[in-house]
A and B are shown apart, each in its own frame.
Chain A
Amino acid sequence: MPPMSETSTPQDLSFFYGFLARCMQYPDPQWMNEEFFQAFFSLVDTLGATVEGKEIRDALKHSPDPMEALQIEYTRLFINGAPHVVAPPYASVYMDKSLQGAFALKTLSFYREKGYVMEKDADLPDHLIHELEFLSLLARDNDLAGEEEFLTTLFRPWYQQFCPRVGQETRHPYYRMVVNLIDFFTSEEKKDGFQCNEA
């Protein structure tokens, strides 16, 4: 994989968003295979997170059933867990204190504005995976303004609450890395300075 640079093309970014969405799917050997982990670790290593990368490799190696360990952790973090569901991956949970609140509707109408609708079997519109997929599509469309607006008004406000919850609570280094990767790619646009249109 080529090193990341400031000159990443929209297509690169589209690919990254898509890859991150993939990382957040329920672990299944169908896609979470050797090829996936190769790509995953290549990205992690490129970003220089070698210590964390080793931690994940060790966790996978030393687990008697690495797939089940990831599935259990995913369930606990994102679906229904004990002691409690740690971090439901839906924007509305953080912004409306409810599933499918007004914030989810706002997200959906933003998709529509950009010409996208939800697939019939999709999860809720404000699910992290779908928001990443949408960002991937915007990046592919080279709609930088739309991407930035979405990140600022609809993504970051909840993601910055979600990310530390996972980071602090997870028992698996893989998910700590995934949420940090997402954090990195979704806040990158702003690192050059003050956003004038930040409302």
Chain B
Amino acid sequence: MAFNVTRRKFLQTASLAAVSIPLSKVVCAETGVTKASLEPKGTMHDTTVVGGLCEMCFWRCQMVGRVRDGQLIKLEGNPKSIDNGTSICARGNAGIKLLYDVDRLKYPLKNVGKRGEPVWKRISWQEALDECGSKLKAVVDQHGPQGICVFPHGASAKYPMHYFERTVGTHNVSEASFFQCRGVRDTAYMASINEAPEEFVDMANAKVIFLVGCHFGENIHVSHTKNYIKGLQNGAKLIVADPRYSASAAKSDIWVQIKPGTDTAYLLAIMNYLVKNKKYNQEFVTNHTAGFDKFSQSIAEWTLDKAAQECEIPAAQIKEVADLLAANAPNVTIHPGRFSSWHGNDFQRGRALACLTALLGAYYVKGGWLPPKRPKLNKTSWAAAEHGNEHNLNYSGDKMQHPYSPPGTPTELIRDCAISGKPYPIKGCVVWGQNPMQTIPNQEKMKQVFKAMDFVMCVDVMPTDVTMWADILLPEASYLERFDEIKVGAAYAKAGDTEPTQYIAPRYPMVEPQFERKDQVYITNEIAKRMGHEQDIPVQTLEELVNKTLEVSKTTLASIKAEGGIHLQPGKPAGTVPEDFMVLLFSDEIAAAGFPGAPTYIPVENVPAGHARLLFGRAPVHSFSRTQNNIWLHHAMPVNPVWLNDEVAAKLGLKEGDTVGLVNSEGVKSRTTTIVKVTPGIRKDCVYMYHGYGMVNPMLTIGSGQGVDEQSLITKIAIDPESGVHGMRNNFVKLTRDGKTLDMPA
């Protein structure tokens, strides 16, 4: 400023009077301008836009938006929804802060520096697509389609994933939602009941809800949480097995403070007790299970006492839980869980949960596992094609290494092949919506994979940690700016309904994409054209894809929009147990593949002296690392404190709020520090943290370096032998303070 005096100084000096008197004479008493109200307006009178489908997580709540001057001001649950109703969670509400996040990717970027240490240059879409197309084509020409690996995640990644899998023809696809999350649960249930269980448990009508590791309240999916609370309000007894006094444990009637990794032993003892004492549902077992005799022999060793010792819980409490379940069967929820990539013995754990449900007869009953009858949709996408298993890393000849792998190829097989070049080179990498740096354990190994590539492309909305490894980085339209993904389901529309209602809710854009953000159909098709697959392109636009998917339901995007963004139609009752429904208590097929035919407990490595087991889970305000840069969510929970048992803390001389770092048993140190949460609510041999914090990429100006990235400490890799899925709770840590490493007391 050019003034030689500040306004305040000027007003304080004697000159004020000198100018103010003449001024006062000329100030007009009335003006034609009124002061704008300082009171924020609220959103009641803003324009309502229907058809939002949330993707702050993957539960896909239906929303409406309030728009003012072309700007999305607020998101709310769609009043027409019979799923989430007018509710959306913290993340859902914070969606507009992702939409308008200044750090979001805006234009195609080319890395003109080194991979991992990027120097970005904005380029045109034309140049970006030419580069992606030609580089990927060069990889396929030189090494075959198997030379490409794909790391997809989320709704927008499905279309490009199908392109690379089906049309290009690579098996090397690793979806985080399968190989680092729920895949092993799905394949364990597939092998037991021939279906993936999803979360089809009727908690609202359950007499007992049994959660093994589920931590509702910290893990939030709106309609699921609604049903859980409905169940509790209706008087359901809640049993929670968790080493930590989780949000669910805090609402429980029985908290089972189980030793991590021993869930299967616990479940086997419950089942053995039910069998030995004939407290199982004999009619269900006779009509709908196979292998009961072999199964009961196999689990016979699991007495209450043996499990009590293994799981470090009282035998009487195991009996109490088993009796409570038996007394209330079949209307009991044995929750299949969701995230299940725990200890590398999780296939057997999933089998045990499926078998326990069978012993209690809790399939296709009120309060039990009760899959809704959902509306059917078309499966429009790239045409399926058979590519043989010659280059499928999961096969050695005819034999599968991990026969119960989820779709795709187990992550570790892809990574090992990419790094070693054996049995063949993998030289091109497509990352779409996934952040493998924080979803896949052992970050150094992931870096090795990227370093081995000739070309890496990433498509995302945010500059997540993995995007630092891209050669070309493409900005994607977010879930609020594109058509996409259709949620279908069935629910009781209102209290007292005897018949369920079905719903179909496609995703509509609530606002136009800004800058040069594009959707997955545009990007994939343009790459496909450049790779010589123009004739295989199934649809020209995302809108067309959704309309074709809807065809069988006799609805269209236009018709559903006119109905308020959600189509409702009469549903069919969930029904009774189908006659051919079978639960394989003992599976000959699994046995033939060389694995235990009956659910079997496989012990995990014990905590080495001086260490604690590193446990992690979800924060209610975050979806993994995806939401860390959201300013509202960040302020709600800025760091992830490390939970430490109060007696252990006293011995270590640590108080609530002290700053600590972590170091794992392989010497890997956390890049950042966090604070201690001292509580009696965790076992002495564990520490616990929320997942997703402490990201590296400095392009994330809010989330970067906040809290500790617990994933960076997960360097020991456990692989579930049946499924090839990762187990991520086999790492052990010590705390560090002021540069000193603290040994955990015995």
Contacts and interface: CB of A to CB of B under 8 A. Distances in A.
A82 B699 contact: yes
Contacts of B69: 105, 108-109
Contact of A100 (B23, B71, B103): B71
B609 to A, nearest CB: 40
A60 interface: no
Contacts of A124: 514
A191 B2 contact: yes
Nearest to B10: A194
A190 interface: yes
B10 A88 contact: no
Interface string B110-148: 001000011111100000000000000000000000000
Contacts of B699: 80-82, 84-85
Interface in A12-30: 26
Interface stretch (A1-9, A43-51, A68-76): A68-76
Contacts of A194: 3, 7, 10
Given A84-B699, A90-B102, A194-B10, A71 B2 contact: no
A26 B514 contact: no
Interface string A75-113: 110011111110010100100011111001100110000
A193 B107 CA distance: 43
Interface string B2-30: 11000100100000000000010000000
B1 interface: yes
Interface string B76-105: 000000000000000000000100111111
B274 to A, nearest CB: 56
A82 B102 contact: no
A80 B119 contact: no
A198 B226 CA distance: 53
Contact of A80 (B3, B71, B103, B631): B103
A79 B106 contact: yes
How many A residues touch the partner, as a band? 35 or more
Contacts of A161: none
Contacts of B10: 194
B438 to A, nearest CB: 18
Contact of B102 (A71, A74, A76, A99): A99
A105 B68 contact: yes
Chain A interface mostly: loop
A141 interface: no
Contact of A72 (B3, B117, B121, B468): B121
A80 to B, nearest CB: 6
Contacts of B104: 99
B463 interface: yes
A113 to B, nearest CB: 12
Contacts of B119: 72, 76, 82
Interface centre among A68, A71, A82, A196 (most CB of B within 10 A): A82
Given A80-B103, A82-B118, A84-B704, 10 more contacts: A68-B121, A72-B121, A75-B122, A79-B120, A80-B106, A82-B117, A85-B699, A97-B631, A99-B104, A108-B69
Interface of B: 1-3, 7, 10, 23, 68-69, 71, 97, 100-107, 109, 112, 117-122, 463, 468, 514-515, 631, 697-699, 701, 704
13 contacts: A75-B122, A80-B120, A80-B699, A82-B118, A82-B120, A82-B698, A84-B698, A84-B699, A99-B104, A105-B69, A124-B514, A187-B1, A194-B7
